[in-house]
Amino acid sequence: MERQVWRTPGAGSLDRLKLQSESLSAPGPGEVRVAVRAVGLNFADVFALLGLYSATPQGSFIPGLEFAGVVEACGPVAQRDAPRWKPGDRVFGVIRFGAYATHVNVDGRYLQPLPRRWSFAEGAALVAQGLTAYYALYDLGSIRPGQSVLVHSAAGGVGLQALSMIQAAGAKAIATIGRAEKINILREQTGLRTERIIVRDARRFGDQLDTALRNIDASGFDLILDSVAGPYFQPGYRRLHPAGRLILFGAADFMPEGRRPNYLKLAYQYLRRPRLDPVAMISENKSLMAFNLICLWERVDLMRALLGDLL
């Protein structure tokens, strides 16, 4: 069958992404063909197109990691315990690149039924953002009631999901954002009070953290969810409690301002990247954890469990 896709001949610039037609083969063993109704747009997609994402495919590729749509056809059953899908099922799921298309063939184990009251857009928006927040807070962070948690880029998709989960867990959140215009977004969508929201300023970020900690009667952080890194990494790390955990899953500080990377600036930022002494970390009793969600792709059991937990 013919499908429409957004394809780039190779990473390096957003301008290389073009809409084109191409054929899609019938779904193979264990695969399901889904008519895509909505896709998620994430920082990882932009980083991949710019060539700044380590998991970016070599050569031509179709971006996109998450989608929602309707099952159109199913290939032969590959495993006895594989989930059974049928044409007409509303689903959402993940794919290792390739979601920016009208139709995709995907391993049926990476699909979940779309809840009846959800729109396709809601289903597509949940997967990467929700899995990232959940895996960071629960699997790596072991969040508990009463803990103090710092969330960077809190007005973004992962940040909003994380704040909701933190509140549900009975923990206390402090949120950082890059621009003051996002304060109202946080207040309206999460109910977070203004004194718990920081508009990041690299020149005085440590003082900003101290003020916010006093506002929640905390002496430090138990968990930090960091998707920014750069000059904001060390001030947060220094304020971790003993046994605290900093969980790094992004580096938005490296994001170029234009449509193409400024490699000279990137080299400068790379040389100034955060560094830690692992031996000193022993006596400090602090942990640094880092992950890339796409690297969990091969862990089908874990991915399915996480998707199930999100619902």
Q: Which tens digits make up the pLDDT trace of 182-230?
A: 999 999 999 999 999 999 999 999 999 999 999 999 999 999 999 998 8
Domains of the chain (ranges, CATH numbers)? 2-118 (3.90.180.10), 130-294 (3.40.50.720)
| Distance from C-alpha of 179 to C-alpha of 301, rounded to nearest angstrom | 39
Predicted pLDDT at 273: 75
Predicted pLDDT at 46: 86
Q: Are 209 and 239 in contact (CB under 8 A)?
A: yes
| Distance from C-alpha of 140 to C-alpha of 245, rounded to nearest angstrom | 9
Question: Which H or E run contains 288?
Answer: strand 287-290
End-to-end CA distance of the chain: 33
Please identify every stretch of the chain with a pLDDT value under 50, giving residue numbers as ranges.
none
